[in-house]
Amino acid sequence: MSEKSEHSLAPAQLSNDSAEYIHPTDRPDLTLPNDVKNFLKQLFLECNRKISFQLSMFPNAHEESLDLLFISHFAHMQGAIKFDSNWTLRIDAHFIGGGRHFRTWEVADIGLMVMFRKNGRITRSKLAFLQSKKLYASPLKYKPQDPHFRAGLGRLLVTEEEHCELVKTMLLKYSEKSKYKALKLKSEQEGAMSMFSSRHNITLHYLLYNPSLIPWEIKTPVEGVPTIDENKVGCRVISKPFLDTSFQDKQVNYAPSYKDIRDAFKKDFSDQESVAGWKMENFICDLFINGKEGLVDDSPNFQTMLRIMSQKTSPISSALSITFDFEE
């Protein structure tokens, strides 16, 4: 490898390829065998199902709690797994927590890191960022700030008025018109994300938390565990450039609906079966790990990854690291 290529940082271009159209590389140390791929996809599929069921049962769940559910799904896997194909898989999950944000804004809730090793030696690393936004059920309202400016454990202390609102009998409904109310187009946060993306030469993505089914409704307080046989909608991923381009004619602070995202995605990716974004497990396992999405860092010492991810003060809340080791 030349000196130039060893330190190249080439951001992958947004791809129209679905999982089944990803062309495998001719490098065996970067091509996951089926036993590893199937295990990993099942792991993320189950994570998707768990988060979506939680949001279906408790539509008033905070986005932060859904992020924690994502991280906790992998946090217990603190060890290496050896497969028959002579590959080893290791997953590390870390909750970074609050810290300094980029221009006072958090640009991503979850950072994804993938490292490929051959006989223990790094051959490639990749990086992706997910900014999570949940779909709001009607009549729930988006509250951008705590009116009492509570922080830390103080957030657990609610007023009598807030308590009465939380336990009041309501019918919460999801429909195609439901909106991602915290996703404000052309907002200050969007601007900070664009600047961060340009500075680090990386495409940001949105992780959209949806219920398992749409339409869906549930009475609160919940009186029994609902039965949901299939996760038809669930967690979806779209890129920020796709969102910016698709809704460039919308006004400032417009919050797109599920139907908005679905129709725009169908228009741009008409050759795919994905609805309202890529399924989380397909994006991570096929488009990111084994595909064209994400920032590629071929340097041997994680120059870009360390600069962005290593400090607690980075504008990211949680990180998931996946390491593959191919042994010849």
> Which of the residue ranges 1-15, 83-97, 155-169, 205-219 would you say has the lowest mean pLDDT?
1-15
Per residue in 301-326, pLDDT tens? Answer: 666 677 666 543 455 678 899 999 99
- Can you tell me which residue has the tokens 């199937």? 38
Residue 222's pLDDT band (cuts 50, 70, 90): very high
CA distance 100 to 42: 35
The residue type at 111: G
The residue type at 267: K
Torsion (CA) 169, 170, 171, 175 in degrees, nearest 10: -160
Residues 6+ apart with CB under 8 A from 272: 16, 18
Would you state the pLDDT for residue 14? 35
Neighbour-count burial of 163, counting CB atoms closer than 10 A to its CB (0-12 exposed, 13-18 middle, 19+ buried): exposed
Q: Where are the alpha helices (DSSP H) in 105-231?
A: 160-167, 188-200
- Can you tell me which residue has the tokens 């994400």? 294
User: 324, 89 in Cβ contact below 8 A?
Assistant: yes
- Rg of the chain over all Cα atoms, to the nearest angstrom: 20
Domain ranges of the chain: 12-326
Strand partners, 118: 121, 326
Would you state the pLDDT for residue 94? 83
* Residue from 125, 130, 117 nearest 305 by CA: 125
Per residue in 126-145, pLDDT tens? Answer: 999 999 999 999 999 998 77
User: 12, 204 in Cβ contact below 8 A?
Assistant: no
Quote the pTM value.
0.85
Per residue in 19-66, pLDDT tens? Answer: 333 344 467 778 899 999 999 999 999 999 999 999 999 999 999 899
CA distance 277 to 243: 11
Per residue in 174-200, pLDDT tens? Answer: 999 999 999 999 998 898 899 988 888
Token readout for 58 is: 């408790």
